[in-house]
């Protein structure tokens, strides 16, 4: 049957659909009347809606023209038949003879064998397929482009019905729709722990509630104005001095500019407006269509461009709707798990600390600023969770497992119960550890071990008393700089350090001087792009090249420690001469403060981090130059093994408990012993009972770790005979022909002596 001219068709159809959506109807009746209206408007003999269920089945939810008895009975799997093909590809299918298509599948219960022409479009929301909308006719014909566009626009209305949960009332018992499907995503665990709670999208999607326009010309003008503002804002960002002439930041902005000036993108939005959508609904439709196609790409570069396009479209939506972002209001859940593509450290600290149960990132690395801060806050963190933001909705239930690196979105009841039991077991274990808080950390054979904690923010300090730590073995001063919007002034630094010392209540605190550069680039201090930033201009190298920066920090530390003890150390020392250079700057600051009558610390201890392998050939010189040494095991391991700990392909290639690295650590211990220089190890291996066993066996008597690790490590050492283990371990380390695994030796020793490792 020939179809009439549809120049005004989509607008008339959308107007009638808007009226239907406003009527107080039951979901099935509303859906039945919608398909009837579509069929009438498009002069189609069949109109059907298939909705995707959580089990991957497309179920017929409503039809005009097919057998009514087939509703909720006719089903196709994803990828099966024409409807399944559309759902899987997220692309329309326009056929003059549907039965000749190789994917055609005959469903006898529907009675559709008499229909030849076929037009099906995916029902999309945020790029996700929620179902399929189909029209059919007996006569063989191809549907025009404007008819396809009209169907896609209409599908948006049905997508909102599905998204709002209206169709739950007519879903078969025991089944649910795909939008509520339980999903498990395997990712990377960046901080251990389990979080049960509800999703809070860091940048929530703009919810477009006004889909249908009254005046197309007015909406096109609104769109043009918003696009113009968007282009100007991108040009402004590109012209700023702080944006480097080269590098990743500029590349992203250049990509934004390319998309913003793409005429094809603009034309598609204008066409959607002419078909009856508002400007913001047109943006959302084109964004969803584009995203659905790009999500199926395998090329990583093109997939990254999808993220850029998505970000740009969201910026445009925010301009059109006046949406200002998330609101920190009383509706913020008490068990929030924040989902973000990426975010800054300061943004995480904006959230109510008491309500945070975890953080999930699509991007980022274990060493990124926000991860460092999240770990300091003691919440589980998941990274590299690809696509998770698009799959989640605000308020969705979620479980994150930082131990296994998994995100369980909308988990089934049995999984929730299993994790609740796991959390209860962990809580009981933590109660046992808390009972050890005031127990002296002395090994079974009488060796006193100093258990220190790592910190970097004021929110860390209450854990000093709660964990029973002897003090703070590593205070990362750079975190204060990372979360600030501008360089902290001398007075701000001084007040901060004085507050740290006051809250530590007499416990020793070891401040590490500023360790920025490399992957720790603060927004107001831009360094040049480097091929290998981990080995580049960072830490003490940067500080010595910018002595004003270092001297300000030294002065702040000296003033904050007046009348008390100041213990400070330098990061990433490569040559002993660097220590002497900083000592000279320190002496100048002491003289300056004395000259102007400032009080000084009653005692100053000056130390260095041993993280660079070059110091292994300066050990005795190093030990005599400083008051103490702290081994940074994370960097020392990656530099020794030439294995980037942020690179998943090589980060697990070498064992931190392998013989080469343990021999390096043992040599450091022996050098400290013969020079009578106090020695501590700061790093992840100190906080794990198994690796801590090895550290004690090779001679470490002071270790610093995250506060939550102190309990498990103390429980381990209370049952450990250090000399007995040292004898066995050193024998294996000294035997160059032995193939004995150190890890297996430690596990076996712990099992045979009833030493807890968790």
Question: If we measure between CA atoms, which residue out of 649, 631, 626 comes closest to residue 691?
Answer: 631
* Close Cβ partners of 262 (under 8 Å, ≥ 6 residues apart): none
Average pLDDT, integer, range 546-575? 95
Q: How far apart are the C-alpha atoms of 152 and 142, rounded to whole Å?
A: 16
pLDDT band, residue 1 (cuts 50/70/90): very low
295, 352: one domain:
no
Q: Do 308 and 252 contact (CB within 8 A), yes or no? A: yes
Q: What is the dihedral of CA 253, 257, 258, 260, to 10 degrees?
A: 130
Six-digit token string for 30 = 């509303």
In a domain, 678, yes or no: yes
- The verdict on 364 and 475 lying in the same domain is no
The residue behind tokens 């406003």 is 22
Domain boundary among 273, 290, 321: 321
Q: Which pLDDT belongs to residue 342?
A: 75
Domain boundary among 383, 402, 426: 426
CATH of the domain at 417: 3.50.30.10
* pLDDT tops 90 at residue 560: yes
Q: Return the closest-CA partner of residue 269 out of 143, 120, 153.
A: 153
Among residues of the chain, what percentage have pLDDT more than 70? Answer: 86
**CA 476 vs CA 369, 456, 467, 495, 520: distances in Å:** 12, 5, 19, 16, 12
Contact indicator for 725, 697 with CB cutoff of 8 Å:
yes
The residue ranges of DSSP E strands in 114-231, in sequence order, are 117-125, 128-137, 183-186, 188-191, 194-201
Nearest to 475 by CA among 609, 282, 350: 609
Alpha-carbon span 201 to 390, nearest angstrom: 10
Tokens read off for 619: 């050990």
The answer to whether 453 and 472 are in contact (CB under 8 A) is yes
- Reported as a single tens digit per residue, the pLDDT across 343-370 is 766 678 778 888 899 999 987 666 566 7
- pLDDT tens for residues 650-662? 767 888 999 999 9
Predicted TM-score of the model (pTM): 0.64
- The pLDDT of residue 237: 65
* pLDDT surpasses 60 at 116: yes
pLDDT for 232: 84
Identify the pLDDT of residue 5: 41
**Among 369, 404, 426, where does a domain finish?**
426
**Pair (118, 169) in one structural domain:** yes
Most confident of 202-211, 225-234, 606-615: 606-615
CATH of the domain at 21: 3.30.450.40
Domain membership flag for residue 85: yes
Which pLDDT band holds residue 3 (cuts at 50, 70, 90)?
A: very low
**82-91, 303-312, 495-504 — which is least confidently predicted?**
303-312
Q: Give the pair of three-digit tokens for residue 418.
A: 């299993």
* Alpha helices in 561-705, H assignment, sequence order: 576-595, 619-625, 633-641, 659-675, 689-697
Q: Of the given ranges (208-217, 612-621, 669-678), which has the lowest mean pLDDT?
A: 208-217
Residue 582 CA: distances (Å) to CA of 120, 277, 292, 610: 71, 65, 56, 16
Q: What is the mean pLDDT of residues 653-677?
A: 95
pLDDT tops 90 at residue 168: no
Residue in the block written with tokens 């025991």 = 174
What does the pLDDT read at residue 590?
A: 94
Q: What is the pLDDT of residues 694-706, one digit of tens each?
A: 999 999 999 999 8
Min mean pLDDT across 427-441, 465-479, 568-582, 693-707 is at 427-441
Above 50 in pLDDT, residue 714?
yes
Question: What average pLDDT does the segment 225-251 reach?
Answer: 65
Which CATH number does the domain housing residue 738 bear?
3.20.20.60
CA 148 to chain centre: 38
Confidence of residue 401 (pLDDT cuts 50, 70, 90): very high
Between 206 and 751, name the one with better pLDDT: 751
Q: Is 758 a member of any domain?
A: no
471-480, 556-565, 606-615, range with the lowest pLDDT: 471-480
Does 2 reside within a domain? no
Predicted confidence at residue 708, as pLDDT, reads 84
Long-range Cβ contact pairs of 577-586 (< 8 A, separation 24 or more): 578/540, 578/544, 579/606, 579/608, 579/622, 579/625, 579/626, 580/625, 581/544, 582/513, 582/540, 582/543, 582/544, 582/550, 585/547, 585/550, 585/551, 585/554, 586/554
Taking residue 632's Cβ as centre, other Cβ atoms within 10 Å add up to 22
Say if residue 70's pLDDT is above 70.
Answer: yes
- CATH code for the domain in which residue 247 is found: 1.10.274.10
For the chain, how many structural domains are there in total? 4
Q: Which domain holds residue 713?
A: 436-752
The candidate with the shortest Cα–Cα distance to 725, out of 702, 703, 704, 752, is 752
Q: What's the confidence (pLDDT) of residue 300?
A: 54
Query: Which residue, among 169, 181, 156, has the nearest Cα to 55 in the 3D structure?
Result: 181
Are both 382 and 450 inside the same structural domain? no
Report the C-alpha gap between 264 and 253 in whole angstroms. Answer: 19
Q: Are residues 376 and 310 in the same domain?
A: no
Same domain, 574 and 709: yes
Who contacts 205 (Cβ-Cβ below 8 Å, separation ≥6)? Answer: 126, 314
Residue 210 lies in a domain: no
360 & 309 share domain: no
For the ranges 228-242, 265-279, 631-645, the maximum mean pLDDT occurs at: 631-645
550-555 mean pLDDT: 95
pLDDT band at 330 (very low <50, low <70, confident <90, very high): very low
Residues 440 and 412 in one domain: no
- Is pLDDT at 620 greater than 90 in this prediction? yes
DSSP characters over 116-146 = -EEEEEEEEETTEEEEEEEEEESS--PPPHH
Helix (H, G, I), strand (E, B) or coil at 522: coil
Alpha-carbon distance of 88 to 82, in angstroms, equals: 10
583 and 620 in a common domain:
yes
717, part of any domain:
yes
Q: Are strands 472-476 and 509-512 parallel, antiparallel or unpaired?
A: parallel
- Check whether residue 159 and residue 199 sit in a common domain: no
What are the distances in angstroms from CA 220 to CA 269, 270, 275, 593, 605? Answer: 9, 6, 12, 66, 68
433 touches 709 (CB < 8 A): no
What's the per-residue H, E or C state across 409-469? Answer: ECCCHHHHHHHHHHHHHHHHHHHHHHHCCCCCCECCCCCECEEEEEECCHHHCHHHHHHCC
Closest CA to 704 of 684, 721, 719: 684
Same domain, 566 and 715: yes
Residue 3 located in a structural domain: no
Distance CA 573, CA 552 (A): 20
How far apart (Å, rounded) are the C-alpha atoms in residues 374 and 380? 8
Q: What is the mean pLDDT of the chain?
A: 85
CA distance 655 to 657: 5
pLDDT of residue 243: 44
Phi, psi of 169 (to 5 degrees): -65, -25
Pick the closest to residue 566 from 590, 548, 531 (CA basis): 590
Exposure pattern of 398-431 as b/e (b: 16+ CB <10 Å)?
bbbbbeebbbbbbbeeeeeeebeeeeeeeeeeee
- Residues 660 and 737 grouped into a single domain: yes
Tell which residue, 19, 58, 52, has the closest CA to residue 37: 19
Strand 702-705 and strand 93-95: the pairing is unpaired
Q: How far apart are CA 675 and CA 154, in angstroms?
A: 79
393 assigned to some structural domain? yes
Check residue 250 and give its pLDDT. 56
Q: How confident is the model at residue 479 (pLDDT cuts 50, 70, 90)?
A: confident
> 199 has which bridge partners?
337
Residues in Cβ contact with 22 at an 8 Å cutoff, skipping those fewer than 6 apart: none
Would you state the pLDDT for residue 526? 59
Give per-residue pLDDT as tens, 718-757: 999 999 999 999 999 999 888 889 999 999 999 999 999 8
Measured in Å, how far apart are the chain's first and last C-alpha atoms? 73
């Amino acid at each position: 049957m020939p179809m009439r001219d549809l120049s005004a068709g989509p607008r008339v159809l959308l107007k009638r659909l808007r009226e239907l959506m406003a009527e107080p109807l039951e979901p099935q009746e509303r859906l039945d009347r919608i398909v009837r209206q579509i069929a009438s408007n498009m002069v189609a003999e069949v109109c059907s809606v298939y909705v995707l269920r959580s089990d991957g089945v497309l179920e017929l939810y409503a039809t005009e023209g097919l057998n009514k008895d087939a509703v909720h009975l006719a089903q196709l799997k994803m990828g099966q038949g024409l409807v399944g093909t559309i759902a899987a590809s997220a692309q329309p299918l326009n056929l003059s003879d549907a039965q000749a298509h190789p994917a055609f599948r005959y469903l006898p219960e529907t009675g559709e064998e008499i229909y030849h022409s076929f037009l099906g479009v995916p029902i999309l929301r945020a790029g996700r397929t929620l179902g399929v909308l189909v029209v059919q006719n007996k006569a063989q014909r191809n549907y025009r482009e404007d008819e396809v566009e009209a169907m896609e626009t209409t599908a948006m209305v049905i997508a909102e019905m599905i998204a709002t949960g209206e169709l739950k009332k007519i879903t078969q018992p025991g089944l649910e729709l795909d939008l509520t499907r339980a999903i498990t995503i395997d990712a990377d665990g960046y901080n251990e722990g389990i979080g049960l709670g509800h999703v809070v999208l860091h940048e929530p999607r703009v919810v477009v509630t006004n889909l249908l326009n009254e005046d197309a010309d007015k909406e096109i003008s609104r769109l043009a104005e918003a696009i113009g503002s968007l282009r100007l804002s991108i040009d402004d960002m590109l012209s700023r001095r702080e944006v480097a002439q080269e590098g990743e930041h500029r590349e992203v902005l250049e990509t934004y500019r390319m998309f913003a000036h793409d005429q094809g993108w603009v034309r598609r939005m204008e066409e959607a407006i002419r078909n009856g959508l508002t400007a913001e609904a047109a943006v959302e439709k084109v964004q969803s269509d584009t995203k659905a196609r790009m999500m199926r790409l395998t090329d990583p570069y093109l997939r990254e461009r999808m993220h850029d396009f998505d970000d740009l479209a969201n910026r445009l939506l925010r301009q059109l709707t006046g949406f200002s972002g998330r609101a920190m209001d009383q509706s913020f859940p008490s068990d929030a798990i924040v989902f973000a593509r990426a975010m800054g450290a300061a943004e995480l600290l904006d959230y109510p600390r008491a309500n945070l149960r975890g953080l999930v990132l699509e991007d980022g690395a274990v060493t990124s600023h926000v991860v460092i801060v999240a770990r300091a806050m003691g919440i589980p963190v998941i990274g590299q969770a690809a696509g998770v933001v698009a799959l989640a909705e605000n308020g969705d239930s979620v479980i994150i497992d930082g131990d296994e690196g998994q995100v369980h979105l909308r988990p089934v009841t049995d999984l929730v119960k299993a994790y609740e039991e796991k959390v209860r077991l962990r809580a009981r274990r933590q109660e046992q550890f808390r009972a050890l808080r005031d127990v002296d950390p002395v090994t079974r054979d009488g060796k006193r071990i100093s258990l220190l904690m790592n910190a970097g923010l004021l929110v860390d300090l209450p854990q000093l008393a709660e964990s029973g730590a002897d003090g703070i073995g590593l205070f990362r001063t750079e975190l204060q700089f990372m979360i600030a919007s501008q360089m902290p002034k001398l007075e701000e630094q001084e007040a901060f350090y004085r507050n740290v010392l006051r809250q530590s209540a007499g416990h020793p605190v070891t401040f590490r001087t500023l360790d920025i550069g490399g992957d720790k680039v603060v927004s107001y201090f831009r360094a040049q792009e480097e091929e290998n930033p981990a080995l580049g201009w960072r830490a003490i190298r940067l500080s010595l090249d910018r002595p004003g920066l270092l001297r300000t920090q030294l002065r702040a530390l000296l003033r904050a420690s007046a009348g008390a003890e100041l213990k400070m150390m330098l990061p990433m020392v490569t040559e002993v001469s660097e220590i002497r250079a900083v000592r000279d700057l320190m002496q100048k600051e002491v003289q300056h403060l004395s000259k102007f009558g400032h009080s000084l610390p009653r005692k100053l201890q000056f130390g260095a981090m041993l993280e660079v392998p070059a110091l292994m050939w300066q050990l005795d010189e190093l030990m005599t130059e400083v008051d103490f040494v702290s081994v940074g095991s994370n960097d020392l391991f990656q530099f020794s093994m030439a294995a980037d700990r942020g690179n998943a392909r090589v980060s697990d290639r070498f064992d931190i408990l392998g013989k080469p690295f343990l021999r390096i650590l043992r040599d450091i211990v022996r050098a400290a012993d013969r020079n009578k220089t106090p020695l501590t190890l700061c790093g992840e291996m100190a906080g794990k009972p198994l690796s801590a066993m090895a550290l004690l066996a090779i001679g470490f008597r002071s270790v610093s770790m995250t506060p939550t690790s102190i309990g498990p490590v103390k429980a381990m050492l209370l049952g450990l005979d250090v000399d007995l283990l040292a004898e066995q371990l050193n024998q294996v380390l000294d035997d160059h022909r032995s193939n004995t695994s150190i890890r297996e030796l430690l596990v076996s020793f712990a099992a045979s002596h009833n030493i807890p490792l968790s």
